[in-house]
A = this chain, B = another copy of it.
Amino acid sequence: MALVDPLADLIAALQRLPGIGARSATRLAYHLLKTPREEVDSLCAALLSVKERVTYCSICSNITAVDPCAYCTAGDRDSRLICVVEQPENVAAIVKTRGFRGRYHVLMGAIAPLRGIGPDDLKLKGLIERVGAGGVEEVILATNPTVEGEATAHFLGERAAERKIQASRIAHGVPIGGELEYVDGGTLAHALAGRHSV
């Protein structure tokens, strides 16, 4: 005698989501059981709307509901600067800082030879076209500070050098608000090497 079938099915479906284990899935399922029908309907509508309405920008490959995306069409953004990131969520993170007023380019991945992902698997064509069209003065390589992200930044840096385009890499260092003793050795070494006079 198991759980009520539809509930067990829902728990199984929720458990497939990242960061949701058996306990959270069970709690969510019982919560949804008591949630008014209209709220569950609106959650489903939001889920399906994401699949139906979200597409990719034909210029920068970022996610968007209108093509080209708002960042590519914004008149107040500097087209001479392109910030290259791995994923759409990275764009959202940089936008939130309010510290960058240029354009974006989303690679939709990073070079990862061990997983068989090479440069041809990334959304590079659009970037090459944009740089080729002229007017781009600097490409900021904001891929993740991981092995894959560094490899990708290195690859793009070399391609930029061939085309005589300035490329820069975001700084590695100690995070603001952190304590030195909790910062890993690699980061601390980078922070020391990247020191600047005050």
Q: Residues on A close to B: CB < 8 A?
A: 1, 3-7, 9-10, 12-14, 16-20, 24, 26-33, 37, 39-44, 46-54, 63-65, 69-71, 74, 87-89, 92, 95
Could you tell me the distance between the alpha carbons of A131 and B29 in the complex, rounded to whole angstroms?
Answer: 31
Could you tell me the distance between the alpha carbons of A28 and B16 in the complex, rounded to whole angstroms?
Answer: 11
What residues on B are CB-neighbors of A13 within 8 Å? 42-43, 46-47
Could you tell me the distance between the alpha carbons of A44 and B6 in the complex, rounded to whole angstroms?
Answer: 12
What residues on B are CB-neighbors of A28 within 8 Å? 17-20
Q: Name, among A16, A37, A43, the residue most crowded by chain B CB atoms within 10 Å (CB to CB).
A: A43
**A40 adjacent to B46 (CB under 8 Å):** no
Cβ-closest chain B residue relative to A37? B51
| Cross-interface CB contact of A74 among B1, B3, B48, cutoff 8 Å | B1
| Cross-interface CB contact of A47 among B12, B44, B64, cutoff 8 Å | B44
Could you tell me the distance between the alpha carbons of A49 and B51 in the complex, rounded to whole angstroms?
Answer: 20
Q: What are some 15 contacts across the A-B interface (CB < 8 A)? A: A1-B71, A4-B64, A9-B50, A10-B46, A13-B43, A14-B43, A16-B39, A17-B28, A18-B28, A20-B28, A32-B47, A32-B51, A37-B51, A40-B48, A44-B48
Could you tell me the distance between the alpha carbons of A20 and B9 in the complex, rounded to whole angstroms?
Answer: 20
What residues on B are CB-neighbors of A43 within 8 Å? 13-14, 16, 47
Q: A13-B46, A47-B43, A54-B7 are in contact. Are A63 and B18 (CB under 8 A)?
A: no
Could you tell me the distance between the alpha carbons of A133 and B161 in the complex, rounded to whole angstroms?
Answer: 88
Q: A6-B49, A13-B42, A70-B1 are in contact. Are A26 and B89 (CB under 8 A)?
A: yes
**A9 adjacent to B71 (CB under 8 Å):** no
Could you tell me the distance between the alpha carbons of A43 and B39 in the complex, rounded to whole angstroms?
Answer: 15
| Cross-interface CB contact of A10 among B17, B49, B89, cutoff 8 Å | B49
